[in-house]
Chain A
Amino acid sequence: MANLKSASQPRAPGKRASQRMRLVIGAAIIVLVVGWLVYSSIQGSSAYYLTVEELKARGPSDRIVRTTGFVVAQTIHWDSQRMILQFEIADKSGSLPVLYKGVRPDLLQDGAQAVVEGRYVASGVFEATAVLLRCPSKYVEK
């Protein structure tokens, strides 16, 4: 049964083996390249979540990080003329002023859960390049 393959294709065994070897090497190269692609992309594209406390402890940095928290009530300030959005988020470890230039997200409101991505700059403000808001479960029964 195991010889079925070679029986159906009469060929010099040496040639077959070397061709098979080439095939295996080819496939191995692809696997390695893909592995490297994944590895390097994960390294380059990881956005770590830091708590407000960790962020402040590390100090100002150019690294893009994410932090998450609840939007503090009555801190949302939206300058529709200059399209600048300011608000504060708070987690268990403290609160953080956030500055974002862009359109005010639909879901931004007091108490909403926000994820902000950006840099913590020297003035102690988090300059967000992206503000994501997580919708609460859509399917709650009232």
Chain B
Amino acid sequence: MADIGSWALHLSLAVSLYGAIAALMGARQRSRSLVESAEKALWAVAALVTLASLILLYSLVTHDFQIKYVYQYTSTQLRLVYRISAFWAGEEGSLLLWLWFLAILTVLVAQKRGRSGPIGPYLLVTLAVTEAFFALLLLATGNPFETYSARPSEGVGMLPLLENLGMILHPPLLFLGYASYTVPFAFALSVLMSGQQNSGWVKAVRRWSLFAWISLSAGILTGAWWSYVELGWGGYWAWDPVENASLIPWLIGTAFLHSAIMEEQQGMHRIWNMVLPTLAFLLCLFATLVTRGGVIISDLHGFSRHVQPIVYFLLAFMAIVLGVTLSLIYYRRHQLGGSEAENLLSREGTFLLNNLLFCAAALIVFLGTVYPVLAQALRGVAVSLKVSFYNRALGPLMMAIICLIGICPMIGWQRLTARHWRNLVPPALAALVLTIMAFSLGVTELFPLISTLICAFVIFSLLAMVARDLHARHRATGENYPRALINVLSKAQRRYGAHLVHLAIVLMAIGVTGSTFYKREQLVTLKPGDWAVIGDYRVQYEDYAIETLHPESATYQSRIRYSTTLGIYQGQAKASTLVPEINYHWVLDNPWVTEVAIHSSLKEDLYIILADLAEDGRAGFQMIINPLVNWIWIGGGVLLVGTLIAAWPQQRARAEEEGG
């Protein structure tokens, strides 16, 4: 079995290289038969990679421990769903997953666009080359189908931290996002290669770009959620290099989403729209370099790992991509001219500002990530940046970006008029009133006040806009308001989808502000029956248990479980029962694994970590109140819905697209 998987990967490398060459020759010689042959080759690659992936899945599910990868990440005690998720638990499997997603996306793109217009064949070239690169990366740096000569009877098992719903969802979503950013990049590069002059491609790439963006967003959010519920340190984002590495392409991808609108509607930002997708793609590769390369050392993740060979492959490929794209942009610079924004205080101006701010934000996170390496190399000092770096440098930028969300829809193209200023006044006033109320209720620090002001302004501004649209439609058609709402929504589906996404960002900003500035915690030691008070909660330590699980065979699942039962009371009523626990996995190098317990509400989370449990039942707890955290996850849901609405095929738009 493993041999077949390995051969499928070798073949896919050869076939994708053939596809790239055939498509390139087909494009140069305008030979339809060559391009069709390239398209068939890409279908073959997809089939081969799918075969390899299914073989790996089958081996994981059926405990084929002769395959090293299966041995290292699963055991017979592991539940089916985690045996499947073991596919992406390690480096080799996650790269295969990335290639698999890429191969499937490639045939979807090829089928729709491969033969259309001058850019089609070049799209195939770019996608095929990227596939070939990933196949090479897999075969050269980590083939998941390596085998032992004999078959072990039991596997090592999965790290307990990875046994969580978040770990089932987080990596595949992230890799789907990373793989999908190949598509906007491939479009941009093929436009450059073909020398096509019009901006039709931005429209074609829009859905792909949204798809990549929402996958990456969902990947980042599920990662944050996983970190919050599983890692047990009371937070969701630690500015760890591995987390940062996924945020940087997201920031650039967000800039591209907006920048593409400018090209689609106004013919502007043509150079931006070549550079941004390329950067997003390169930064996805950079993310792999950070995660797997061992160059950038994080405080929490792996340590003192040597530079891995994968680094040289990635750096070489990134250099080639960057070199080719930049020289093509230079070569085509005369075709990439277009009109430009003339006034920063116009809608065009806010889009330009938006690009600049997002790129600046990406640059800040990038600098923060590589700073320790740079400082070591350039100044010879060992230094790292505290989390406060990101709060100080990124906080103001993020506030400015969110402020733009409120301003942009209120002002018109080209320049500000008095009417636009008047539009801004009511939401600004309402936000000011709300902020003063917040101040009198005890929000006294500067940043939370500014955050309240800006978030409120944006929400009121979005509401004001909906009200204006509704009123206008009501006056024009005489429909009643509910009916008008439905019609307004369906007529301007893209715009309203975007407004929802913006609302989601504001909700998340509220959650981030609350949990960053008003987090409270206390350490308590209790005996069974004791009470503790934190915030509005009274916590009773009801019971405890110490038990041994799976002692018979020594796998990662074998452990001693120390658990406590806590009753959470609000007022006189019992709100819930929480069971925080710690587990001692004696097989692991780091045997202690904490399982936190959370009582969650819209106002705040009560987050309880069991620190210590003695044989006589005396226990130490860390109790944390994380205000407004739930709004981050709610924002995530709204984000998903908004993006789906914005990307959903529109009857009229679809007819237009197919006609044009």
* A4 proximity list for chain B (CB < 8 A): 334, 337
* A23 proximity list for chain B (CB < 8 A): 340-344, 349, 352
Q: A22-B343, A106-B590, A106-B593 are in contact. Are A37 and B302 (CB under 8 A)?
A: no
Minimum C-beta distance from A44 to chain B (A): 6
Q: Count how many chain A residues have C-beta atoms less than 8 Å from C-beta atoms of the other chain.
A: 54
On whether the beta carbons of A135 and B303 are closer than 8 Å, the reply is yes
* B159 proximity list for chain A (CB < 8 A): 138
A49 to B388, CA, bound (A): 17
A113 to B297, CA, bound (A): 13
**Which of A8, A27, A83, A107: most chain B Cβ within 10 A?**
A83
B536 touches A (CB below 8 Å): no
Minimum C-beta distance from A42 to chain B (A): 7
Give A101's nearest chain B residue, CB to CB: B523
A12 touches B (CB below 8 Å): no
* B349 proximity list for chain A (CB < 8 A): 23, 26
On whether the beta carbons of B301 and A135 are closer than 8 Å, the reply is yes
A46 to B393, CA, bound (A): 13
On whether the beta carbons of B590 and A109 are closer than 8 Å, the reply is yes
A83 to B503, CA, bound (A): 42
A9 to B342, CA, bound (A): 12
On whether the beta carbons of B156 and A142 are closer than 8 Å, the reply is yes
Q: A45-B386, A103-B620 are in contact. Are A135 and B397 (CB under 8 A)?
A: no
On whether the beta carbons of A80 and B367 are closer than 8 Å, the reply is no
On whether the beta carbons of A37 and B397 are closer than 8 Å, the reply is yes
Minimum C-beta distance from B418 to chain A (A): 20
Minimum C-beta distance from A33 to chain B (A): 8
A19 to B590, CA, bound (A): 62
Minimum C-beta distance from A107 to chain B (A): 5
The 8 Å CB contact of A5, one of B305, B339, B590, B620, is B339
Q: A26-B344, A49-B383, A106-B594 are in contact. Are A132 and B618 (CB under 8 A)?
A: no
Q: A102-B622, A106-B590 are in contact. Are A139 and B342 (CB under 8 A)?
A: no
A2 to B334, CA, bound (A): 6
A136 touches B (CB below 8 Å): yes
Q: A23-B343, A30-B360, A139-B72 are in contact. Are A48 and B381 (CB under 8 A)?
A: yes
On whether the beta carbons of B620 and A47 are closer than 8 Å, the reply is no
Contact with B along A5-47 (1 / 0, CB 8 A): 1001100000010011011001100110010011011101111
B37 touches A (CB below 8 Å): no
Q: A34-B364, A104-B612, A135-B302 are in contact. Are A83 and B523 (CB under 8 A)?
A: yes
The 8 Å CB contact of B300, one of A46, A104, A134, is A134
On whether the beta carbons of A48 and B392 are closer than 8 Å, the reply is no
B492 touches A (CB below 8 Å): no
**Can you list 10 contacts pairing A with B, beta carbon distance less than 8 Å?**
A23-B343, A27-B352, A37-B392, A45-B389, A47-B384, A80-B611, A80-B620, A81-B525, A103-B620, A141-B68
Having A23-B341, A113-B303, one finds 11 other A-B pairs with CB under 8 Å, namely A22-B343, A38-B363, A45-B389, A45-B392, A48-B381, A49-B382, A83-B612, A83-B620, A106-B594, A135-B303, A138-B302
5 A-B pairs closest in CB distance: A134-B303, A45-B389, A49-B382, A41-B393, A80-B612
